A and B are shown apart, each in its own frame.
Chain A
Amino acid sequence: GQNIDQPTEMTATEGAIVQINCTYQTSGFNGLFWYQQHAGEAPTFLSYNVLDGLEEKGRFSSFLSRSKGYSYLLLKELQMKDSASYLCAVEDSNYQLIWGAGTKLIIKP
Chain B
Amino acid sequence: IAGITQAPTSQILAAGRRMTLRCTQDMRHNAMYWYRQDLGLGLRLIHYSNTAGTTGKGEVPDGYSVSRANTDDVPLTLASAVPSQTSVYFCASSAGATDTQYFGPGTRLTVL
> Contact between B43 and A42 (Cβ–Cβ < 8 Å)?
no
> Contact between A42 and B90 (Cβ–Cβ < 8 Å)?
yes
0/1 string, B18-58, CB within 8 A of A gives 1: 00000000000000000000001111110010000000001
With known contacts A95-B98, A96-B45, A96-B48, A101–B40 Cβ distance under 8 A:
yes
Which of the residues B43, B45, B97 comes within 8 Å of A43, measured between beta carbons?
B43
With known contacts A42-B103, A43-B90, A43-B103, A91–B44 Cβ distance under 8 A:
no
* Chain A residue contacts of B86, Cβ below 8 A: none
Q: How many residues of A contact B (CB 8 A)?
A: 20
* Chain A residue contacts of B58, Cβ below 8 A: 96
* Chain A residue contacts of B102, Cβ below 8 A: 45
> Contact between A87 and B106 (Cβ–Cβ < 8 Å)?
no
Question: How many angstroms from the CA of A97 to the CA of B59 in the assembled complex?
Answer: 10
> Contact between B44 and A99 (Cβ–Cβ < 8 Å)?
yes
0/1 string, B90-109, CB within 8 A of A gives 1: 10000001101111111000
> Contact between A97 and B45 (Cβ–Cβ < 8 Å)?
yes
With known contacts A96-B48, A96-B58, A91–B98 Cβ distance under 8 A:
yes
* Chain A residue contacts of B106, Cβ below 8 A: 41-42
Q: Which residues of A contact B (CB under 8 A)?
A: 4, 30, 33, 41-45, 48, 87, 89, 91, 95-102
Q: Which residues of B contact A (CB under 8 A)?
A: 40-45, 48, 58, 90, 97-98, 100-106
